[in-house]
Amino acid sequence: MRRAVTFVAFLLFCLPAFSDTGAFDMDRWNSVIENIRTRAAAKNISTDTINATLRNPAFIPSIVRSDKNQSEFKLTLDEYLARTVNSTRVARGRQMRAKYPTLLARTEEIYGLPPHVILAFWGMESNYGEVKARHRLVDAFFTLIYDGRREKFFTEQLLALMKIADDNKLDINNTRGSWAGAMGHFQFIPTTLELYGVDGNGDGRVDIIDSVGDAMASAGNYLNKLGWNKNERIVRRVILPADFDTSVLDGKTKKTLTEWANYGVLNADGGPIPTGNMVAGLVADVANLRSNSADDFAPDSDVAPRPVITAYLTYPNFYRIKKWNNSNWYAIAIAELSDKLK
């Protein structure tokens, strides 16, 4: 009887979706459910958790549209930083530093992550927990598995979520996140949480949604495992000669600091950069440079071109951030925000 009621409720929910996604394939939906049941049992996930997960999953048409129509924001680096490293976020970060001094100190002591770095990630990911999750993750994952574009990936996420809920006595049907499955204060996907989640408040379970202590410890553990070095900076703002080869400004070309200095890289104030054998990359907003290329030479023709390209030397911690989020702009924003929160 329960299955029939669920089936009817599901159809009522899904009927408006037909025009957007084509005729709904109930056979496929049932095969997805049975596949999850079989695979979850093989992973020794409890019958209670399996039954709870499969009780009444819903297909959400807007999630399919979101997955298929992810827009590529064409923001310049300056525009991106203006949005992400603004005075409101900095002020809020300072409030969080004053509110959670013990948790932040413990995260640094155990995992080597300074408070300003953890706060920067927290601010970027959820605006310090203010971003509210919209979707039941069970619904999101079943919808995306059914859609099939990244079926293997989202199947792995759902099974990981079931295992996490089982191990930590969480209500899987009350676990919410983004349409793509990111959850909690630091927006972990389930497979990341499964690997790096930590019980930060000592209650015997890992809950990165409702426990700031667990969320902060899990983020610290993850970054620690990525190799974070608290004694190294993330980036250094620099300036380059006007005729600098912009093809190397994507962060992929790496040289020693001494080599970059020999190429004419200078501190933002025009002074020499530190030299040595540390390897770094260079990142700049090349697209914006090319679209706004203008004659930036000194007016006196006897004077050599003055440095006009602003860029960032990118140190090893920069590339550790990119394992969290593979975006140059994101990593620079973390660096800028963390500097303001020191």
- pLDDT digit string, tens, across residues 214-240: 999 999 999 999 999 999 999 999 999
> At 67, is the pLDDT very low, low, confident or very high (cuts 50, 70, 90)?
confident
Residue 18 has pLDDT above 90, yes or no: no
> At 69, is the pLDDT very low, low, confident or very high (cuts 50, 70, 90)?
confident
> At 7, is the pLDDT very low, low, confident or very high (cuts 50, 70, 90)?
very low
> At 71, is the pLDDT very low, low, confident or very high (cuts 50, 70, 90)?
low
* Residues 206 and 183: beta-carbon distance below 8 Å: no
> At 292, is the pLDDT very low, low, confident or very high (cuts 50, 70, 90)?
low
Residue 94 has pLDDT above 80, yes or no: yes
41-50, 248-257, 303-312: least confident range: 303-312
d(CA 76, CA 55): 46
d(CA 184, CA 122): 10
90 versus 296: the higher-pLDDT residue is: 90
Number of H helices, E strands in the chain: 17, 7
d(CA 44, CA 191): 17
Q: Tell me, what's the pLDDT at 185?
A: 97
Structure tokens at 76: 């310049």
Q: Please report, to the nearest 10 degrees, the dihedral formed by the alpha carbons of residues 63, 67, 68, 73 taken in order.
A: 120
Q: Tell me, what's the pLDDT at 283?
A: 97
Q: Tell me, what's the pLDDT at 307?
A: 54
Q: How many CB atoms lie within 10 A of CB 18?
A: 11
Structure tokens at 334: 């973390």
> At 72, is the pLDDT very low, low, confident or very high (cuts 50, 70, 90)?
low
Q: What is the mean pLDDT of residues 137-154?
A: 96
Q: Tell me, what's the pLDDT at 95?
A: 98
> At 132, is the pLDDT very low, low, confident or very high (cuts 50, 70, 90)?
confident
Q: Tell me, what's the pLDDT at 301?
A: 46
Give the CA radius of gyration of the chain.
24
The model's pTM is 0.88
From residue 38, give the alpha-carbon distance in Å to each of 3, 49, 104, 307. 18, 13, 42, 63
Q: Tell me, what's the pLDDT at 133?
A: 82
> At 131, is the pLDDT very low, low, confident or very high (cuts 50, 70, 90)?
confident
Q: Tell me, what's the pLDDT at 70?
A: 67
Percent of the chain with pLDDT over 70: 88
d(CA 298, CA 229): 41
> At 122, is the pLDDT very low, low, confident or very high (cuts 50, 70, 90)?
very high
289 versus 202: the higher-pLDDT residue is: 202
